[in-house]
A = this chain, B = another copy of it.
Amino acid sequence: MPKLHADATLVPSTQRIELFSDGVFAILLTLLIIEIDVPFLADESFPTVIDGLLRTLPHLLSFAFSFFTLAVFWVNHHHFFSVLGRTDWVLLWHNMHLLFWLALVPFTTAFLGEHPDVSLVAAIYAFNMTMAAAAFTLMTRHALFHGCFTTTEILEKERRALVRKSQAGMGLYALAAILAFGSPWVTWAMILGIPTYFVVPRLLKR
């Protein structure tokens, strides 16, 4: 008779984990905006409104950058799970680990929007992304090297390339965190540049 808790066995479908993760991604993308307060306006003259918007600008920029970064994570998550035919308990927890760091993004984004020019705050934002990329790397490595989760055979060369790409993202974000102590604007440039680097060349290739 079957064991009720499928600890040691592979769960044969990835559907519920994908839908659950999609829910988390969808909420994170939309929650980012409610951290941004409408600017307070002392009066309703044109210069005051412009001034209010300029004060909100760092928040809108950190919103846009985080939206873009989370979108890249979602697309990669989507592609990664589309080649998996199975999950196991460990993969479930690797995914939870990833979602944990992503769930912190609205907080670190709001903090960066509030203090765009503070090195430590920029470093914390980049550290958050570093940990998310690390969680993604660990999940990828587990699925591609410690079991047969993929629906089709994938060449070891390709599997290595995939994990390496994830590690590269992790390394770049770690660098962005360190360079923040030189200048936070370097970090701002990198948190826009890293997801751009992962997306734009492929879009242009087409």
Residue A89 lies at the interface, judged by CB distance under 8 Å to chain B? yes
In the bound complex, residues from chain B placing their C-beta under 8 Å from that of A83 are: 4
- Given A35-B34, A83-B4, A121-B49, A26 and B29 contact (CB-CB distance below 8 Å): no
Residue A93 lies at the interface, judged by CB distance under 8 Å to chain B? yes
Cross-chain contact B103 with A44 (CB below 8 angstroms): no
Cross-chain contact A16 with B99 (CB below 8 angstroms): no
- Given A89-B203, A106-B33, A117 and B152 contact (CB-CB distance below 8 Å): no
In the bound complex, residues from chain B placing their C-beta under 8 Å from that of A79 are: 4-6
Residue A189 lies at the interface, judged by CB distance under 8 Å to chain B? no
Cross-chain contact A120 with B49 (CB below 8 angstroms): yes
Identify the closest chain B residue to A19 (Cβ). B22
A99 to chain B, nearest CB (A): 7
Which residues of A come within 8 Å of B, CB atoms? 1-8, 11, 16, 18-20, 22-36, 38-39, 41, 44, 46, 49-50, 53, 64, 67-68, 71, 74-75, 78-79, 82-83, 89-90, 92-93, 96, 99-100, 103-104, 106-107, 110-111, 114-115, 117-118, 120-121, 124, 152-155, 158-159, 162, 199, 202-203, 205-206
9 smallest beta-carbon distances between A and B, as pairs: A23-B26, A27-B30, A24-B26, A20-B22, A49-B120, A71-B96, A44-B118, A38-B111, A38-B110
List 17 A-B pairs, Cβ < 8 Å.
Answer: A1-B152, A4-B158, A4-B162, A20-B26, A28-B30, A31-B31, A33-B106, A34-B35, A44-B118, A49-B121, A67-B100, A67-B103, A71-B100, A75-B96, A78-B92, A89-B202, A89-B203
